[in-house]
Amino acid sequence: MAKHTAQTRRGEIVRLATTSGLASVEELSDQLGVTASTIRRDLAKLTAQGKLARTYGGVMSLAHHPEASLRQRLGEAHAAKRDIARWAADQIEPGETVLLDAGSTMGALADAITKTPELTELTVVTAGISAMATLTDSVGIDVIALGGRLRPLSQAFVGPLTEAAVQRMSFDRAFMGADSVHAERGICEADLEQTRLKELMMSRAEHTYVLAHADKLGQSPFHAWAVMPSRWTLVTDESADPLALQAFRDNDVEVVIAPRRD
């Protein structure tokens, strides 16, 4: 492979991050034929220029805010998602009907539910394929799948058929995922179809919980927003910035920091 100048190499890094949505130091080092330390210096420069943002596991282009796929998100903040999911599972009572939104944290919650044997006669409603797959063989759990149009990036169903199903149900608890969550604006997603569905889900629930690890707090990566109900709970992890959490408390949001578990 021909050697890149610093300028062309950095341009290629931005291109790769934009087209793939996420690029790691190791991947960039292999593809561009330079050392990891050189890549780290390039990333520091590009981040300072506002062309990239550091994320769990790599970098993301700021030029187009590409939406990460569910597969890409599975490796992000794994321990934090596990702790958040375990806390959420502990809130569920036997016999309840609960809604699980789509996403990697919801997959972790579905897994935590299967490992909580006292949760019997439970009904779980979900539009997320990962949660459906995890709960398929669970004894004592009735799974209701919300159909509709499959959205490949998020591996979830959306659209009018999904919304129609939600409008005919109610839930003791709704557990919501988010691309990001803002104290004043609410839940941020890549498109309005997703945010419309989330609003409907939350409106049908007695209790609403937004499960979001620390990196998702206070961010605005897209321009579609879900308006929050008057009462809801943010569940995050121990690495969350205290100032970010205070912004939610100042807006009368209940904040829970999930304890770390080994």
Pairwise CA distance, residues 204 & 181, whole Å: 20
Which residues neighbour 162 within 8 Å (Cβ) at sequence distance 6 or greater? 127, 146, 147, 148, 149, 197
Partners of 97 in beta bridges = 123
Alpha carbon 137 to its chain centroid, in Å, reads 24
Tell me what pLDDT residue 2 has: 44
Q: Which two tokens stand for residue 137?
A: 């063989």
Buried b / exposed e across 138-159, counting CB within 10 Å, b at 16+? eeebebebbebeebebbbbbbb
Would you state the pLDDT for residue 69?
A: 45
What is the widest separation between alpha-carbon atoms in the chain?
Answer: 63
pLDDT at residue 55, rounded to an integer: 54
Rounded to two decimals, the pTM is 0.74
Sign of the torsion angle spanned by Cα atoms 12, 24, 187, 94: positive
Handedness of CA 134, 136, 138, 141 (dihedral sign): positive
d(CA 47, CA 45): 5
Sequence length of the chain is 262
Report the helix count and the strand count for the chain, using DSSP H and E. 10, 14
pLDDT at position 70 is 47
Mean pLDDT of successive 10-residue stretches along the chain, which has 262 residues = 72 73 75 88 77 59 50 63 97 98 95 93 96 93 95 91 98 96 94 94 98 92 91 96 96 97 76
Given this model, what pLDDT does residue 11 score? 85
Q: Is 213 exposed, middle or buried (0-12, 13-18, 19+ CB in 10 A)?
A: buried
